Amino acid sequence: MRIILAQPRGFCAGVVRAVDIVERALEKYGRPVYVRHEIVHNRRVVESLEAKGARFVEELDEVPPGAVTVFSAHGVSRAVEEDAAGRRLPVLDATCPLVSKVHNEGRRYLAMGRTVILIGHAGHPEVEGTLGQIPGEVHLVATAEAVDRLPIPPDRPVAYVTQTTLSVDDTRATIEALRRRFSDIQGPDTRDICYATQNRQSAVRELAGQVDVLLVVGAANSSNPNRLREIGTEQGVPCYMIADATELQPDWMRGRRRWGSRPGPPPRKPWCRK
């Protein structure tokens, strides 16, 4: 059996940075260190950090007075920041720099007198943080179809920002719908977009043309691996999401040709591991 690994794969730089902040905090301040929300939606990483002394909480009232506290890579709202300051918690902010950039862009557009539209998924931790970082009118949309339901006059100056865990492909239709509806609209330059999600989705599309079965290793509560699984399925390949090797089912591989049944040349060396 040939196993082909996608390239790129794994965590983005923002997540690696956040995990590193927690580990360094444990080394410097000792255990326990409290982390608001999972530092990353990956059970193995969370359990590894817990074994070293990290304690993951959902709300700051679960943090003892004076305990070192880390904000996760997803970012937090102003209300959470103010709550931490009011309780005098020593805080290490592990918010991804690109998420912070979205916060700054949203505030800048608001200061320009524009109504801000956030493209993202309701309830996602990053979205909740961004909504709470922009001190004014912000409308959340997840799809192009939702654009027509926005309670905003079409001639009002607007601007949009996007959830960083959505790719360029994920947001393209929604941005096009916004541009069709509003005559005065601004948004971030495509050069400012985080391409970690986009590149991994592109890797899955390329990989789907070379394999008989596609496995996405990720957590069920994480939007990125769920989207990768959807893309694999859209490409017509049996696609399964697993947290680790214990969830692998032998039946998924039965009846598959040893070297793959799809046409085309063998994979390039950077993609292939036996």
**Which pLDDT score, from 0 to 100, does residue 266 have?**
42
pLDDT exceeds 60 at position 105: yes
Q: Return the structure tokens found at 153.
A: 């006059």
**Which pLDDT score, from 0 to 100, does residue 256 have?**
67
Give the C-alpha separation, 58 to 29, whole Å: 21
Region at 142 (left for phi over 0; alpha for psi -120 to 50; beta for the rest): alpha
Give the C-alpha separation, 71 to 133, whole Å: 14
Model confidence pLDDT, tens digit, residues 130-152: 999 999 999 999 999 999 999 99
Let me know: does 12 contact 45? Beta carbons within 8 Å: no
Q: What size, in residues, is the chain?
A: 274
What confidence tier does 192 reach under pLDDT thresholds 50, 70, 90? low
pLDDT exceeds 70 at position 272: no
What confidence tier does 274 reach under pLDDT thresholds 50, 70, 90? very low
Residue 50: active-site member: no
Exactly one of 38, 81, 105, 126 is catalytic; name it: 126
pLDDT exceeds 50 at position 271: no
**Which pLDDT score, from 0 to 100, does residue 168 have?**
84
267 CB-near residues (< 8 Å, 6+ apart): 4, 210
**Which pLDDT score, from 0 to 100, does residue 257 have?**
58
Q: Which of 63-72, 159-168, 195-204 has the highest mean pLDDT?
A: 63-72
Q: Record the pTM.
A: 0.82
pLDDT exceeds 60 at position 270: no
pLDDT exceeds 70 at position 1: yes
- pLDDT (mean) for 256-274: 43
Model confidence pLDDT, tens digit, residues 2-53: 889 988 888 888 899 999 999 999 999 999 999 998 888 788 889 999 999 9
